[in-house]
Amino acid sequence: MYQVITMYGDNEPWWFFEDWQEDIEEEKSFDCLEDAERYYIKKWQELSSTHEYINTKVNYLAAFWNDGDERWCEECDEDLQQYRGLALLKDHQAVTFESGDDFHERHNDCAKPKCCKTSLV
C-alpha cells in the first residue's frame, strides 16, 4: 500500500524523527504506485504554486516554505521555520526508488532555515 501525506511542522519530511507522524495533516492511501504518483504530482504542483521555497529529494520527498512562516520555540529560544512536507511512502516508509526527472534534487538558492537543535535527537 502507498500513501501520499502532507505535513506541517518544524522539520523537512525526510528526517523521519521519532514523532514525525504527529505533523501529518492529510494522508491518502493507494493500491498502486501510479495512482499515488499522480496524486503526489498534483499536490506538488499545488504546494509549489503557493510557497516561495522548495527542496525536493529524489525519492518523492519535498519541503515547501515561505519567509515569515515561523513559530517561537521556548526550548530553543528562537523562531523556527515551519515547513509544509509532501511525501510518497510505501507502507509508511520512504520509497527506495527515484522520482521522475522533474523532481530530482530541486531547491531554491536561499540561506538554510533555522532548525530546532533539540529535535535532532
pLDDT digits (tens, 9 = 90+) for 39-78: 999 999 999 999 999 999 989 999 999 999 999 999 989 9
pLDDT at 108 over 70: no
Q: Does 50 map to a domain?
A: yes
Phi/psi of residue 86, each to 5°?
A: -135, 130
pLDDT at 115 over 70: no
The count of structural domains within the chain is 1
Q: What is the pLDDT of residue 58?
A: 87
- Residue span of the structural domain in which 54 resides: 2-96
CB–CB of 3/92 below 8 Å? yes
CB–CB of 84/63 below 8 Å? yes
Q: Does 48 map to a domain?
A: yes
- Average pLDDT of every residue of the chain: 85
pLDDT in tens, 96-105: 876 655 554 4
Residues in the chain: 121
Q: Does 6 map to a domain?
A: yes
